[in-house]
Structure 1
Amino acid sequence: MTETVWRQCLAIPSAWTGGGREIVRTPALEITNLGKRFGDKAAVDDLSLRVPAGAFFGLVGPNGAGKTTTLSMAVGLLRPDSGTVRVEGLDVWADPIPARTRLGVLPDGLALPERLTGRELLVFLGRLRGLAPPVAAARADELLDILDLAAADRTLVIDYSTGMRKKVGLAAALLHGPSLLVLDEPFEAVDPVSALTIQAMLRRFTAGGGTVVLSSHVMATVEQLCDHVAVVHRGRIAAAGPLDQVRAGSTLEQRFVDLVGAGLDLTRSPSWLAS
């Protein structure tokens, strides 16, 4: 498959590796007995999760449930206290370079070099990933165009809006043609038109054999995009599996409330607001 075909179908990894994608029989991501404590608090508590290759996998949970901590450990940004993480069978901590080569990551609280333009940033990151200068430049230009950032290609990142930062961060995650994308709140602060563009890209990515893991608080988005889902609550997996299995005949939102909203009272509000 050529770069021209990729431009037509956005089957990114297959195009950028210069051939057909090898079928991965092992899970794209396998987390086993993962644990992390901050002082007396167990942020992640013996958490295990398998993400099948080719899945569009949603990770949902209330604030403070441990989603971001789990994803940070899964991609090698935060060392776990216990447990293992494997990407396509490779241990993220014991064999980090080949494991992380397969990863494209959009982390929470993304920090970017702010004195570079968006194009300079992508070309720089592409060179760090080992891409030849012409390839890095061509991919940067194409991603900026697809994500509606081409008009700001000479704007410094420090002057980017929150949504623009999110989009250039996603471009950076895609740039080297990973086989597994791990995205923490990828649609946060992104305008509706750009969100639709990103959704189409991610669908084509999984259609081409790639795997996406994303966290989100928007149940409708997860339900619309994902074929697998896991609900995280108090650092553990409350439910996980194919979307239909997890929602068990209900909506994902209702199932989420049933799993993590014990004792929820929707009649309460400040007394002065009712007067």
Structure 2
Amino acid sequence: MPDGTVEDVAGGVPGTAPPAVRVEGLWKRFGEQVAVAGIDLALPAGRFIGLVGPNGAGKTTTLSMVTGLLRPDRGRVEVVGHDVWRDPAGVKARIGVLPEGLRLFERLSGRELLAYTGRLRGLPGTEVDKRATQLLEVLDLAGAQHKLVVDYSTGMRKKIGLAAALLHNPEVLFLDEPFEGVDPVSAQTIRGVLERYTGSGATVVFSSHVMELVESLCDWVAVMAAGRIRAHGTLAEVRGGAPSLQAAFLELVGARGRDDAGESLDWLGGAR
């Protein structure tokens, strides 16, 4: 779907669920640099959604504004019908967030971190303990639950962060590069939990620049480049006639190979 229009894939048709996320005229500038340039987007509920784009496209800035971590210069964001800036408490109660620059209380153990998170969310202690035990088991962290988070590997940190984001059973889960730096075993575990979560009718929105991963996981995609949405829709709609999402993505963002690359690097790999 072309840039500049809001296509209500959900919410505009009687009898369908409203969008999980609605973004209207969203702008963010850092000095002279425009990070997000007036995007409009409606993300359908109950889907596994990929926000894809090259590095510097504005994905993290967009997710930060959608989740209330960064105030936009202009524009409006609704998550499950609640305005992010007019009703921040209502939105935060309904979302889970796993940011790219994950910061955790490193002097707590994994179980202590979940207990603390659950109580901050207002869950009863017994319910927190039950959910924490289940999440630790499913995410293969039960054996490390009493280790300090400071001693966790990158994959373990991503998994305990995901557990904390899921603990209160949010309606929408936002993940920024959740598989970055994660080993294949941990990645498969995370993937299984996310697929089970969306299978229950919840919504996952995750950003990535790895097209193969998005194509294998997502059923709805938004392509972002230079602060704008270049295309959005189902995976099939965004791919169009391209052989893969990677090929469609390269065409959408205007990436072209340099024909003179071999000549300009004729020194590379030669005799030293």
Fold shared by both chains (TM-score > 0.5): yes
Question: What is the letter of the counterpart of residue 25 of structure 1?
Answer: A
Aligned to 1:169: 161
Aligned to 2:228: 236
Q: Any conservation in 1 of the 2:156–2:186 contact (CA below 8 Å)? A: no
Number of equivalenced pairs:
253
- Give the deviation of 1:264 after TM superposition: 2.9
Match of 1:62 among 51, 54, 61: 54
CA distance in 1, matches of 2:38, 2:119: 38
**TM-score when normalising by structure 2:** 0.89
Q: Would you say 1:106 and 2:98 are equivalent positions? A: yes
Q: Report Cα offsets for 1:39-62 as digits up to 9, x if no partner.
A: 000000001111111111001100
- Give the deviation of 1:197 after TM superposition: 2.1
Q: Any conservation in 2 of the 1:32–1:47 contact (CA below 8 Å)? A: yes
CA distance in 2, matches of 1:47, 1:264: 28
Structure 1 stretches of 4+ with a deviation exceeding 6 A read none
Q: Report Cα offsets for 1:78-97 as digits up to 9, x if no partner.
A: 01101011011110111111
- DSSP 3-state at the match of 2:267: helix
**TM-score when normalising by structure 1:** 0.88
Aligned to 2:267: 272
CA distance in 1, matches of 2:16, 2:147: 40
- Give the deviation of 1:24 after TM superposition: 7.5
Report the CA distance shift for 1:152/1:246 in structure 2 as closer, same or farther (over 3 A): same
Aligned to 1:75: 67
Q: Any conservation in 1 of the 2:177–2:207 contact (CA below 8 Å)? A: yes
Aligned to 2:128: 136
Match of 2:215 among 185, 209, 223: 223
Question: What is the letter of the counterpart of residue 176 of structure 1?
Answer: H
Match of 1:87 among 59, 62, 79: 79
Q: Would you say 1:252 and 2:245 are equivalent positions? A: yes
Report the CA distance shift for 1:25/1:173 in structure 2 as closer, same or farther (over 3 A): same
Aligned counterparts, 1:189-204, within 5 A: 189-204=181-196
Q: Any conservation in 2 of the 1:31–1:48 contact (CA below 8 Å)? A: yes
Q: Identical aligned pairs, as a percentage?
A: 58
Higher relative helix content: 1
Q: Any conservation in 1 of the 2:100–2:178 contact (CA below 8 Å)? A: no
Q: Any conservation in 2 of the 1:24–1:53 contact (CA below 8 Å)? A: no
Match of 2:113 among 116, 121, 136: 121
CA distance in 1, matches of 2:266, 2:50: 37
CA distance in 1, matches of 2:148, 2:64: 27
CA distance in 1, matches of 2:235, 2:145: 39
Long gaps (5+) in structure 1: 1-22
Q: Report Cα offsets for 1:209-247 as digits up to 9, x if no partner.
A: 101101112111110111100110000001111110001
Aligned to 1:31: 23
CA distance in 1, matches of 2:259, 2:61: 29
Question: What is the letter of the counterpart of residue 56 of structure 1?
Answer: F
Match of 1:150 among 128, 133, 142: 142
CA distance in 1, matches of 2:198, 2:147: 31
Aligned to 1:41: 33
CA distance in 1, matches of 2:259, 2:117: 47
| Mean CA deviation greater in 67-76 or 129-138 | 129-138
Question: What is the letter of the counterpart of residue 258 of structure 1?
Answer: E
Q: Any conservation in 1 of the 2:250–2:256 contact (CA below 8 Å)? A: no
Over the aligned positions, Cα root-mean-square deviation in angstroms equals 1.5
Question: What is the letter of the counterpart of residue 82 of structure 1?
Answer: R
- Give the deviation of 1:272 after TM superposition: 3.0
